[in-house]
Amino acid sequence: MIVHHPRRMRRTVLAVVTAVAVAAPAAAGWSPAEATPGTRPAAPTRLTVDDVPAPLNADESPRFGWLPRDADANEVQTAYKIEVRDVDGALVWDSDKVKSAQQSYVEYDGSPLAPGSVYRWRVRTWDKDHLPSPWSAETRFETGLDDGDWGGASWIRRPPGNPGFRAVSVVDGRGRVSGGNVTLASTGTDWTDYVVTMDVTPVSRAAGVVFRAPDSANGYMWQLHANDNALKTHRMVAGGFPTDARRAVRHVIDPGVTYELSIRVMGRTFQTSIDGVVVDTWTDPSPSGSTAGTIGFRQAGGEVADFDDIRVTSLDGSRVLFEEDFSSGLDKWVKGTTTREADEYTLARTEVDVPAGTIVRARSYLAASHVAELYLDGKRADRMTNYGHPGEGYYQAADITDLVTPGERLSVGAMLHWFSSGQGRVGAEPGLLVRLVVEYADGSEFAVVSDGTWKVRRGPYVLVGTRNGEGLYVEHLDGAAQRAIGPWKQGWYDDSAWSDAVVLGKHPVAPFTHLDGQQTRLTETVVRPERIFVADDGTPVADFGKVIPARPAVHFDKGVAGRKVTIRASYGLTETGRASTASTATQGTNMSFPYTQAAGDQDYRAFGHLGFRYLEIPGAEEEITADDVTATVVHTSYPQDGAATFDSSDDTLDAVWDLMDRSLRYSVQETFVDTPTREQGQFLHDTVNISYGLMATQHDRVATRQAIREFMLSQKRWWTSGDDIGRYNAVYPNGDNKRDIPDFTQVVPDWAWRYYLETGDLAALEDVYDNVAATAAYVRRHIPAAGPTRGLVTQLTGGSGQYRYGIVDWPVHGRFGYDMTATARTTVNALGVDVLRKVALVAEEIGRPEAEVAAYVADADALADRMNETLRKPDGTYVDGLLGDGFQSPHAGQHATSYAVALGIAPTEDLPELGAYLASMGMKQGPMTAHWLLEALALSGAHEHLLNVLTNEDDYGWAGWLAAGGTFTPEAWELSGSANSASHGWGSRGIVQVMENVLGIEVTAPGGAELRISVPDTGLTHAEGSQLTQRGRVLSAWARDDQGVALRTTIPVNASAVVDLPAGRYDVRGPGGASAEQLVAEGGLTRYRVGSGEWTFTQVDAG
């Protein structure tokens, strides 16, 4: 049954036609009604350089963009003229009058621009009548730095280690060891033969026990490995693990289960028992193994384990050499390390005397591995992040003019956070690079750079261990230690006890050999909870109303020195009102922010973020109110006034739009992320889905362009030979290096083309052609010419485990029974057709030879034909694929048919029946691929069913998720196991289908040069909304009632639109009395072509 959700009385056709404006950001002070036909254009507006207004680190070959303005109907830009001047007003480039409609990505073509310099530019345009506009207002941009322009700035860091470090802590009466270095007992380096027995609980991944260790680099290390269900043995020699001693003894090891482990050490023979049963006896064949040494623990990054009731005795049991039950502190374990911590915080500072004079400009240039904040006289000046491979990183520029006082002392400080490798992060090594430049009115310049004169020390954080198995560490700020350090960000601070900075060398220096100016930037918004309530046990809990990606902060009035307050975030609550720690409420993540208090009044502020809705503050022993708790919401910056708008006659649909829109905005921080909590990694398919949505709804350009660049770099780094050619990393950047998923790779050509369709950025298309052509070759290599699956993409190489040959959907239950035994999978083949078609479009657009383009088209058509010959059932629906013997899979899931329809493979004449078939199934796809179902329903003409899928609260889908209390699109419609994320933006790509196939605004030519405006027959009585395209904002408002259909739309200057309306006669009114061009009607439509301006269409033959 199709159920709609009416909200208000239906608008009449007349109301839509006479409405003043769709709710949308207005073009600055400009109303088309103010001008008469034949007037001159207005001055261009919205000036950008590489899509950024007034950038501080533009490339030295900038690309200019603007929006032409003209009140006349059907206006286009016929020419432009650009002037660029330096800071003194001298002309450095005059483009002269260029006859062109191009208004974006116009490349600078003047003499070389100086690095780190200020320029101003302006533009004027000519209209269709060859009338010129006034000059635009002058807009500023600044060039950034090349690698040779850092003026002697050096990469610095602190000496590694932590004199106060112990990897072991006491948790629930047991010793907990989390990631990092080897921890040894403080006695026993002379022990030779003995028996060590202990209770071992692997918490995450594995538990490592060390014995016969004379020091932290030598000895033996046994692991109870829960990930691999094995006892693993290792010999440690000089910090390494020789392969001849790496053994795996199969044994079921479950996380969270406690095992009694006993190791009998006799000469070079070691007998291992688990729960009293001997499971292994091994004699080391190498004489290189240590002959004496103590016991300890070793947990690698991401590994967490608990230990208890440790006992070391002589072989005959007559002497007890060591006992530990963790009831009396940690004095039995060695303290301090000189090796790099797995999660390293560094404070760095210097002080300088700023020369007197009139300062006209001051800039900071900052780079870091991984995260750094820069402070000037105690005020934060900037924050930046690099998670990628050294040599592929970024620097960031900031305006610090108001933070520098001439003739005064200036304190320059930075905090650097480096946190090993993990999802979304390459480990590399820690490093900080700073250059400050102060310019004076007399032309002089004063610079400060990071170098060996800086002082450094360890930051006030306690190394706790990882939040989960993805490499992100729990952030434990020690407030007492922070207070003891004192006001280190301020001037005249005594840093004489700090270490001298370790200098890697002046930039560029290995491994930091190259930096690009970063165009993306985080936006930070401080919010307060909607309410504070008290759990049953008295714990105050803050509710922020919706899931947000944020850094929590809490004010305490009555702190107690040394008291640990475990602030905890969560997506959900327990029955007693506490923040839940269940897997589906935390994404299997330790979402705590432990804080050790100082005495008295103080503020806790997290340095890193997580996604969460609830925040509890247990054990504070004081009243916590809504005034005491805040969260700094973080996401990438989107263009001002760039947001799309949407409103309709269906409350539920409007709520679904809001859900998708918010989820998209919150799914990009330093990079695109799968989730802001569990991994915080730039997964390829997630990125493509989110990017698709954000390009349409937030006018995103720079984050998408950066992500495309990074995935192209992944191909260059890892996928350049043999059968690897043409693939991309499934996550990039990433700590596990080379890893792909076949159908993640397959969506890249479509992504590149979509970016071009939205932007018209031809240079970007040219840059990626070799990459996507290699992807087409990858698909072609897997189409056999003979055999049971001839002509079909077969076992597309890549992936492993559940992802091998293609993931289809995620998680397993999100595949709804899809037959993963199929050798030639329908989804992979459909994406293969799309790869070839999109690469053909790219090739044609950039002017590749006709034969090359034709070959892609022919191969795509042949593959589509073969799919239709072999993968369809007698009723025309598609099976999941062919099995290895060439027979059809017995299963025909929704994915197979939706992909075939959405990707233009199914025969046109069969689309109505296929649409009805898909609609009859409801939602049988996961959030990762649900957009293909929406697209398929739209292409098959099943628009009412499309609306039903979007708004049905009684089935899987967005409305059902909202009805269950969700506030961010999920990883799966049902959370469970490792698919436990309630904040996965990949489920929001469907917002594009809402824009195109419910509201009826679609970009159909590169850069928004042409649009399609329609009134989809979904059952809505009205809808209105807008989208900022590359050529300006498009608005549409329509209504249906018994008087017929009425539409009002506004098309920007330099664009045209095809308007599709239900068949009928219409009263058409254009700006200034202009007429629309009526086109040949087809498919039950009445069709017009219009140019710029506001147009109304009112049906006159209904009712």
SS3 category, 263: strand
Cα atoms in the Cβ-side hemisphere of radius 13 Å centred on 496? 2
* CA dihedral of 703, 704, 708, 711, whole degrees rounded to 10: 60
Output DSSP code: residue 108: P
Confidence bin at 21 (pLDDT 50/70/90): very low
State both tokens at 464.
């706790």
So what's the pLDDT on residue 36? Answer: 54
Neighbours of 522 (CB within 10 A): 17
The structure tokens 């432009």 sit at 80
The 3-state secondary structure of 18-54, one letter per residue: HCCCCCCCCCCCCCHHHCCCCCCCEEEEEEEECCECC
Of 442, 302, 433, which Cα lies nearest the Cα of 370?
Answer: 433
Q: pLDDT digit string (tens) for 936-963?
A: 999 999 999 999 999 999 999 999 999 9
SS3 category, 735: coil
H/E element holding 845? helix 826-845
Q: Is the predicted pLDDT of residue 18 greater than 70, yes or no?
A: no
Confidence bin at 113 (pLDDT 50/70/90): very high
Q: Is the predicted pLDDT of residue 27 greater than 80, yes or no?
A: no
Q: What is the mean pLDDT of residues 582-607?
A: 98
**For the chain, which domains are there?**
13-20+1000-1099 (2.60.420.10), 32-122 (2.60.40.10), 154-160+342-513 (2.60.120.260), 168-324 (2.60.120.560), 522-636 (2.60.120.260), 651-988 (1.50.10.10)
d(Cα 160, Cα 444) in Å, to the nearest integer?
Answer: 39
Q: What is the mean pLDDT of residues 348-371?
A: 99
Cα atoms in the Cβ-side hemisphere of radius 13 Å centred on 515? 34
The CA-atom distances, in angstroms, between 100 and each of 81, 97, 127, 137, 1033 are: 10, 9, 11, 21, 21
d(Cα 554, Cα 330) in Å, to the nearest integer?
Answer: 30
Q: pLDDT digit string (tens) for 981-1034?
A: 999 999 999 999 999 999 999 999 999 999 999 999 999 999 999 999 999 999
Count Cβ neighbours within 10 Å for each residue of 923-940 and write b for 16 or more, e otherwise.
bbbbbbbbbbbbbbbbbb
The structure tokens 């932007």 sit at 759
Q: Is the predicted pLDDT of residue 761 greater than 70, yes or no?
A: yes
d(Cα 728, Cα 731) in Å, to the nearest integer?
Answer: 8
Q: Is the predicted pLDDT of residue 22 greater than 50, yes or no?
A: no
Q: Is the predicted pLDDT of residue 297 greater than 80, yes or no?
A: yes
The CA-atom distances, in angstroms, between 1058 and each of 48, 300, 1005 are: 28, 60, 11
**Strand pairing category for 515-517 and 393-399:** parallel
Q: What is the mean pLDDT of residues 173-179?
A: 88
Output DSSP code: residue 145: -
Of 958, 939, 1045, which Cα lies nearest the Cα of 996?
Answer: 939
Q: Is the predicted pLDDT of residue 337 greater than 90, yes or no?
A: no
**Mean of the per-residue pLDDT values of the chain:** 95
Confidence bin at 33 (pLDDT 50/70/90): very low
Confidence bin at 554 (pLDDT 50/70/90): very high
Q: Is the predicted pLDDT of residue 903 greater than 70, yes or no?
A: yes
pLDDT above 90 coverage of the chain, percent: 91
Of 50, 39, 29, which Cα lies nearest the Cα of 702?
Answer: 50
Q: Is 336 exposed, middle or buried (0-12, 13-18, 19+ CB in 10 A)?
A: exposed
The CA-atom distances, in angstroms, between 740 and each of 711, 725, 744, 804 are: 11, 12, 7, 9
Confidence bin at 301 (pLDDT 50/70/90): low
List residues bridging with 693 in a β-sheet. none
So what's the pLDDT on residue 810? Answer: 97
d(Cα 188, Cα 167) in Å, to the nearest integer?
Answer: 19
Q: Is the predicted pLDDT of residue 740 greater than 60, yes or no?
A: yes
